[in-house]
Copies of this chain bind each other. A is one copy, B any other.
């Protein structure tokens, strides 16, 4: 334990919070439920954004920007949608403040909006109202647009990154001529998310579909990627929705087909948010702090000189000044911390806390021996390595670390997918082993609700590659054709 981080095994929730705060990732703001994303946390989010943005562009999408505010009447047009979001909306009712004459600033009641504006919790309604003007013919389709934005969903209980009233996200909104194309898009973007989670975040995910109960409000089908945290709880890391023609019908968006017919457009939407930061932190970190996969680490290598006096430092710095450009040339981000205000031990703890994948310490004896001391953050191993060929060695090591972090998380996840064959066994597994539990379910919302009420476990998804297997529902004994994945979840 460094810098007073609670041990993961003592109090997982406090451990998480300690890392977020002490690694300078984010903090609660004075606005209830809203967070401040601090520079170090934001620099990780920026790296995530850059990778995702490129993937969206590579799959043919363009970015655009739609209004923050949604008129209440638009918001209400799709019945299931408004029902899903109505109870968590921030509502703008006035557009002016004034001085009350006694030096107090109050809301100017004469500046009341005729129609209230909702701060977007998601943008389907305002976007589909706009698409009506953009789509006339099949030539305008597919329309493939993404938006990076802030959204607001009023939350009573918040946790940094995982559940906040305001959060940052991207929301893709696409329009297609056929259901088939829209479903293909929904699946394509799920694959993009899964690829990002596994190959950049090093977080293994299960791709699946949500049950009707857990679908996005207004969707015909919700696909998701589900990750498993180190405490055995699941976390929904991204969703991709097939919206059918629901929004096209609610907003009267039609196109003229090749055959000259007027038809409603088919839609998808998909999003990931700053919640991914929570998944990243909880998947890999340990009692010394954050562990970052090299591909998303703002600093991949930190170099700390160990010196006595200026002469010593000058020698070390000479070597480092020559090493840094070579590393940068190989695409490695590197920081040289030669502050004299802090001792090496303090620096070591700080960069461990912040999850920097590789630390080099270089002292006078290293300079004599032509070596450096290298510490891996993921395994916390230390080793002495030659200065010669160090740049190439580090590039290879960063690959290994990326792989190792993924493999470790994958092994944990695989060990925590357990089959339960009775409701008793199911409940016992939930309380002891935790993780995903694969069990038979009769397919009804009633049984799903009962299980949730009794155990706090929800159906995370029906895996896309699920094998069919005859069985009986663990609760009702009714026939079932496949197991689904249950878990307690964030």
Contact = CB atoms under 8 A, between A and B. Distances in A.
B94 A72 contact: no
B118 A97 contact: yes
A31 B46 CA distance: 30
Contacts of A150: 68, 149-150
A150 B66 CA distance: 11
A67 B36 contact: yes
Interface stretch (A6-14, A83-91, A228-236): A83-91
Identify whether the interface residues of A are mostly helix, strand, loop, or mixed: mixed
A37 B65 contact: yes
Contacts of A432: none
Interface stretch (A74-82, A203-211, A299-307, A451-459): A74-82
Interface in A129-172: 129-130, 133, 139, 145, 149-150, 152, 154, 166, 168
B63 A39 contact: yes
A116 interface: yes
A66 B92 CA distance: 19
Contacts of A43: 62-63
B64 A42 contact: yes
A89 B82 contact: no
Contacts of A68: 34, 119, 150, 152, 166
Contact of A87 (B87, B92, B96, B139): B96
Given A29-B130, A96-B154, A97-B118, A64 B91 contact: no
A57 B64 CA distance: 25
A117 interface: yes
A434 to B, nearest CB: 33
A107 interface: yes
A200 interface: no
A106 B63 CA distance: 33
Contacts of A30: 71, 74, 126, 129-130
A176 B185 CA distance: 50
Contacts of A88: 95-96
Given A62-B43, A87-B98, A71 B117 contact: no
A64 B116 CA distance: 30
Given A36-B66, A42-B65, A69-B166, A105 B91 contact: no
Given A37-B65, A67-B29, A97 B89 contact: yes
Interface residues of A, number: 64
A43, A46, A66, A168 pick with most chain B CB within 10 angstroms? A66
A447 B399 CA distance: 68
A87, A88, A97, A99 pick with most chain B CB within 10 angstroms? A97
Contacts of A98: 86-87
A38 B67 contact: no
Nearest to A143: B39
Interface in A1-54: 27, 29-31, 34-39, 42-43, 46
Contacts of A95: 88-91, 154
Contacts of A96: 86-89, 91, 154
Given A34-B68, A76-B105, 10 more contacts: A29-B130, A36-B65, A39-B64, A65-B168, A82-B105, A89-B96, A91-B95, A91-B97, A92-B93, A119-B119
18 contacts: A29-B67, A30-B130, A34-B68, A34-B69, A37-B65, A68-B152, A68-B166, A76-B105, A86-B96, A87-B96, A87-B98, A88-B95, A89-B97, A91-B92, A91-B94, A92-B92, A95-B154, A139-B341
Interface of A: 27, 29-31, 34-39, 42-43, 46, 62-72, 74-76, 82-83, 86-99, 104-105, 107-108, 116-119, 126, 129-130, 133, 139, 145, 149-150, 152, 154, 166, 168, 341
